[in-house]
Every structure is written in C-alpha cells, then in structure tokens.
Amino acid sequence: MMFLKARFILGIALRHLTGKRRQTALVIAGVAVGSMVMILTFGLAEGVMTDIKNKIIDISPLITVKGEKIRGKQRLLMTSSPYSKNHFEIVSRIVPDEKKEVKPYTEVVSLVDALPGIDAVSPFVATRGVLRYSTLSRPCIVKGVIPEREARIGKLGQNIRTGSLNELSYTKNGILLGIGLAGKIGAGYHDLVRFTGENGKVYDLVVAGTFASGFGAVDDNNAFINLRLAQTISGFSENVVSAIGIHTESLEDVNPLSREISRLTGYKTETWEEANANLLSLFERNNNITFFLVIFVFVVAGFGIANVLITIVLQKQRDIAVMKSMGVSIGTLELVFLAEGMILGIAGAVIGGVAGHYLTNLISALPVSYGPSAVVRGDHIVTVQKPVFYVLTTLFAILVSAVSGYGPARRAARLKPVDILRA
Amino acid sequence: MEDALIRLRNVKKELAIRNGGEEIVTTILPDISFDITRGEFTAITGPSGSGKTTLLYLMGGLDKPNSGSVFLDNEEISAMTEEELAEMRNAKLGFVYQFHFLLPEFTAVENVMMPMLARGRAGVNEARRRAVELLSEMGLADKLNNKPNQLSGGQQQRVAVARALANHPMVLLADEPTGNLDSKSAEVIYRLFARLNEETGQTIVVVTHDEHFASETGRILHILDGQLDSDRKLR
Ligand SMILES: Nc1ncnc2c1ncn2[C@@H]1O[C@H](COP(=O)(O)OP(=O)(O)O)[C@@H](O)[C@H]1O
Ligand SMILES: [Mg+2]
C-alpha cells in the first residue's frame, strides 16, 4: 500500500519534471553548483585546519611545562568532570612575580618520563637576542635544546634542510637557523655568525644547519642552539631550564595528561591548542564566514526550485483539479509536489557531490606557491574529504528543496477543482 | 425511495463574486429538489447559464450547496469533509467533462489506470488489465500507449469515458461530453452511453444541449434559471 502510493506519487512527479526538461536541468545544475561549492568549502576549510594543526604539531610540543609554579593560596571556585572534553576549573589565586624557570628540571623530566602515554620529553631554555652575519643583523628567538630529545618532539629532524641535528649536538657553539632567518642575514651552512644575548654578551656561533617548518613566523625568527649554551646566556645554572616540551603517544591524551603533569609537578602546563588558540580561532572564524556564503548559494538554488515548482503548479492547475475530482487526496498531491522538489534537490546534490569530489581532488593536486608573508607555507593546498561532508551537503540540499517545495505543494493541493474545471 | 441513488432536497446555491471591495451575491439555484433512481439514464437540458454544470458538480460532491442537502447512496455528501468527499468521488463517481481533461504526460492506459491507483484501490497490474479491457471496449485497443495529443477528439473523449468508468462508479456524471465533438464522434459517445446503461444498468446523468441525444435517454430534466422547469420520463 505504502509502496503503491510512493510509486503513484513518484510516477506523476517524474512525468511533470521530464515534461520540463530544460528548466529541470537548469535547476538541478543550480543545486549541483551549490552542493559542489559546499563540498569544496568543507574540504578546504577542514584542509586548512588539518594543515595548520599538523604543522603546529610538527614543530611544537603537545604539552609545555612552563616555568611558572602553581603557588600562592589557591581556592577552587568551580570545576567540571575531569574527564569531560571541555574540562574547566575556575580558581582564585595570587601569583607572586618571579623568574620563569623549572628547577631542578631533571626531576621533572624523570617524573614525566615515567608517566604512561608519554612519547618524548625535551627540556629547553628560550631566550632572545640579535643575530648578525657580516653587515646584516636580525632579532631572533633562540631555543636551547638537547638535540636528541628535541628531535623526538615534532618533526624537527625531518624539517632539516642543510646540516643535521646530530651536528648541532656535537658542535657546542653550533646554531640551527630557520630557513627564513638564514636568508635574511645571508648566512649559510658552516658560516660563522655572531649572537648578542639578552645579557649583552657576544657569542660566535657556527651554523650547523637550517630548517624549514612550514610556518613563516617560525622560519623567519627562530633558531636552535645547545641547552648548555642557552643556560649560560640566560644565566641559568645547570639544573635549570625555562620550560619543558612534551610529546604524547596519542593526541587524545593531551588534555588529561596536561592536567596530570601540572598536578604532579606543581608547574603550569599548556597544551598546543591553548598555546595556539588565537591562530586556530582565527581560522575557525574564517571558515564560518565562508560557510555563510555557501549557504547563500543554496538559498539561490532554493529559489530556482521554488520557481520551477510554481511554474509547474500554475501550468498544471487543470490536471491537479482533475486529479482531485477523481479522488486524489490533498496529502497525496502535496507529496507529489514535495517529491518534485526533492528529486531536484537530491539529483543536484548527487551530481554536485561527485563534481565536488573531483574538484576538491583537482585543487589539492595543483601546485601552488605561497608568498613570503603567508602564515602557513607548503607546496600544495591541503584538502580533506569526509563522508560526513557529503551527508551534510545532501541533507542541506534536501532541506532547501523541502522548504522551497512546501509552498507550491500546499498551493497545488488547496486548489478548488470547481474553480478550475469551469474556467 | 429505496432506489433513489441521488437525492437533492431544497438545494440552494449562491455565488459570491468579489468586485473590488463589495461582494455581489447571485443565486444560481434558488431551491431545487429531485431524485435519480438506480439504473436511470437522465439528461439535464436547459439554456446556457441556467445552472446545469453547477447542479452536476453538487451531485458529484465537487461543490457544496449553501443550504439543503445532497444524498448519494443514502449518505449526505453535502455534510462530508474534503477527505471523505475525495474518497467518495473515487469510489462511487465517474466524471466526464466537455473537454477530455486527460493528463498530457500519460498514455491512454495510464490515464485510465489513474483513478484505480489514486487511492490504492488496485495494484498496478490489476489496474493495467482493467484499463486495457475498458479501452478495448471503447474500440481503442490499438491506441493504448498513445499520449492524448496522439489521439483524435473523439478518441480522447472515449479514453475519458474509460477513465470515468475505471472504478465501477455508481453514477457516471457527464457535462456536455459531446460539446466539442463532430457529429460522427458525438454519435459514437451517445451509443456508448446508451449501451452502458442498457447492458450494465449503469446510472448516468448527462448534461447536454443536444436535443437528439437527450431524446435517446430515459428522462429529461429541463432547467430554467436554476429551477426545475420540467421532468419528463421517456421510458
Ligand atoms: N465561477 C463563476 N464565476 C462567475 N459566474 C459563475 C461562476 N460559476 C457559475 N457562474 C454563473 O452561474 C450561472 C450558472 O452557471 P453554470 O452552472 O455553468 O450554467 P450552465 O452549465 O447551465 O451553462 C451562470 O449565470 C454563470 O455565469
Ligand atoms: Mg455548463
């Protein structure tokens, strides 16, 4: 019975649409363009986020133990379940101003090393200074690390362009330069550069290599030296670092481990997402704006659907009246026109989905070059395709066609046969 | 009384026409009553504008009277809801209009199948079988898969008659079914109606201008200005 009715409804709907081939094709094309753009937008937006996240993970620790003690009188005001995804604690605390350091760091390192789910631990000293080569100089951020440990945080090892991390570790006065930074002062592999530290002292360093992380700001401003040298420059004793970078085995463990480490060590911790919240939220907002625009494409497609259906309803008034007079119910007639809208929407979504898939592939296969000011650099546009994008796009197309079809469908179903059959 | 298939009792029909802000009410049928008996073949005649079509639509549950009642098969159809009327029309009535009003996207067979499928009264195969049978009876066995625009006016109207008969209606209501046909095609339709009434006892009410056609029926109801002017039984 249900099947029969569906067949009856679809039969009429299809005949109506095939009777208006050109307009039908045009509207399906409109929905298809909307769907295609939506798939592409999903792919690009998710791609940018994935690219940025991957690049952040590649170059920075997932958790950083910061050289700030949780101290002072702490009063817990409010907390959520510690296992919830968006765990929060609201505390009131007064922190005295003091030097940022982790001391003794070896104790913290062995404490963290012993925790399950920890992949790598790399203590470091971050300092600033000015780097000079011949007549060119540039301010920079210098990170003092134990190269073997730092190599296991992110992909620094893979990002090396010249020289090696190994070379840095056996060159006591070696320095690994970001590729942009090296370019700006014109220094290359094995050149001798001069570094002026925050303490005002001058150090002659050998370029042990260069690296390219994909982040413009990092490659233009950062450099690595050995931990011991950085401790000397910063005036730290041998058991002091400014912070500790940590890599976990799984991304899911980052938040709980970060809280656990903070609790165990008494130092503040920061996850990679917290550290890059500004950057990530900027892109998120950007993506939201793009989606808003894509929805407009769909709204226009929706007008197209409504337009075709209104035309059909007007042209088919007499047929509708005849069908009503032979006992076709109001509900069935409404479904006929809703089905016509749905057919347009679904056909458009399917065609647009396939086109979107290939367009997304095509765009990610195109070689691109980023300007020097780009936030993130790479050699192609990263895109991501997930089944859920196609499901969402199809659902959206169906929603739009249902909304657009509803008015004409109601109008058709409420026609009074006598008014039309007489005329 | 038992055999009265259709009963009209003091039916009054007014028409309200909006003319700008004011509403003009004209009375089409002031007060009309009559019965149609099972198996009767009735012609409704009268000058143009006398209210024949209005009367037919009231009998067929396509329109409702302003007062009075219309009964079909002992049910008061003038008190039914839209949905009850739709079910009633599908089950008990068949309409033929001055124009064929076939659905242009569908073939002759599909057009005849439609009333059977509209409310799931028959399955597709059963509906097709009956449609083929009806069209063959109408002499259209070789036109089954023609679209309406591939048929002559007379053929179109015969398909429309087949469609009206699809669900074995209690009453066949026809509004000037030959009004647009040449005399030869019109003659075919007359004979079809007469044969249906004689052979199967089909109750038929037909509005016509054609004196000759009317004289072949069993009863003539003559309408003048919305009133029953005369009621003549011919057989
Ligand atoms: N929708 C309408 N608009 C204007 N006048 C109408 C309408 N329906 C019926 N009428 C009027 O009602 C009267 C009866 O019409 P109708 O039943 O069609 O008569 P008949 O079928 O006998 O020619 C006529 O005067 C006609 O002009
Ligand atoms: Mg008339």
- Residues A79-110: pLDDT tens digits? 777 677 777 777 666 555 566 788 888 888 88
Q: Are residues A182 and A254 in the same domain?
A: yes
The answer as to whether A95 is a domain residue is no
- Smallest CA–CA separation between B196 and chain A, in Å? 20
B73/B88 Cα distance (integer angstroms): 10
Q: Which domain holds residue A336?
A: 2-57+279-422
Atom of ligand 1 nearest to the CA of B50: 22
pLDDT recorded at residue A96? 54
Residue range B97-121, pLDDT digits in tens = 999 999 999 999 999 999 999 998 8
Q: Are residues A217 and A266 in the same domain?
A: yes
Distance B206 CA to ligand 2 centre (A): 11
Whether A329 sits inside 8 A of B103 (CB atoms) is no
- Smallest CA–CA separation between A395 and chain B, in Å? 30
The answer as to whether A382 is a domain residue is yes
The SS3 call for residue B233 is strand
- Cβ neighbours, 10 Å, residue B166: 24
Whether A323 sits inside 8 A of B103 (CB atoms) is yes
Last residue within a domain, chosen from A228, A243, A271: A271
ipTM for this model = 0.93
**Distances A182 to A157, A176, A185, A201, A406 between C-alpha atoms, Å:** 18, 9, 6, 21, 64
Which overall architecture, per CATH, does domain B4-233 show?
Answer: 3-Layer(aba) Sandwich (3.40)
Q: Are residues A290 and A351 in the same domain?
A: yes
Atom of ligand 1 nearest to the CA of B175: 21
* Residues of B whose CB is below 8 A from A318: 101
Q: Are residues A143 and A203 in the same domain?
A: yes
* Residues of A whose CB is below 8 A from B104: 19, 319
Q: Are residues A121 and A237 in the same domain?
A: yes
| Residue ranges of B 39-58 with Cβ closer than 8 A to chain A | 53, 57
pLDDT recorded at residue A372? 57
Nearest alpha-carbon partner for A384 in A11, A35, A140, A50: A50
B46/B62 Cα distance (integer angstroms): 21
Q: Are residues A225 and A355 in the same domain?
A: no
In this predicted model, which residue has the larger pLDDT, B182 or A198? Answer: B182
Q: Are residues A196 and A112 in the same domain?
A: yes
The answer as to whether A81 is a domain residue is no
* 0.80 surpassed by pTM: no
User: Rounded to the nearest 10 degrees, what angle do helices B108-118 and A2-18 cross at?
Assistant: 140
- Count of the separate structural domains present in chain A: 2
pLDDT 10s per residue in chain A (423 long)? 567 778 889 999 999 899 888 888 988 998 898 889 888 888 888 888 888 888 888 778 889 888 777 765 566 777 777 677 777 777 666 555 566 788 888 888 888 888 888 889 999 999 999 999 989 999 999 999 999 998 888 788 888 999 988 899 999 999 999 999 999 999 999 999 999 988 889 999 999 999 998 788 889 999 999 999 999 998 888 989 989 999 988 888 888 889 888 888 888 889 998 888 888 888 888 888 877 887 887 788 788 888 888 888 888 889 999 999 999 999 999 999 889 988 999 999 999 999 999 999 999 888 877 665 566 667 778 888 889 889 988 888 888 888 888 888 888 888 889 888 886
Q: Are residues A52 and A173 in the same domain?
A: no
Task: For A221-239, give one letter per residue: b (16+ CB within 10 A) or e.
Answer: bbbbbbbebbbbbbebeee
pLDDT recorded at residue A113? 87
What are the residue boundaries of the structural domains of chain B, listed by start? 4-233
Q: Are residues A261 and A370 in the same domain?
A: no
Backbone angles phi, psi at B96, to 5 degrees: -130, 135
Atom of ligand 1 nearest to the CA of B54: 17
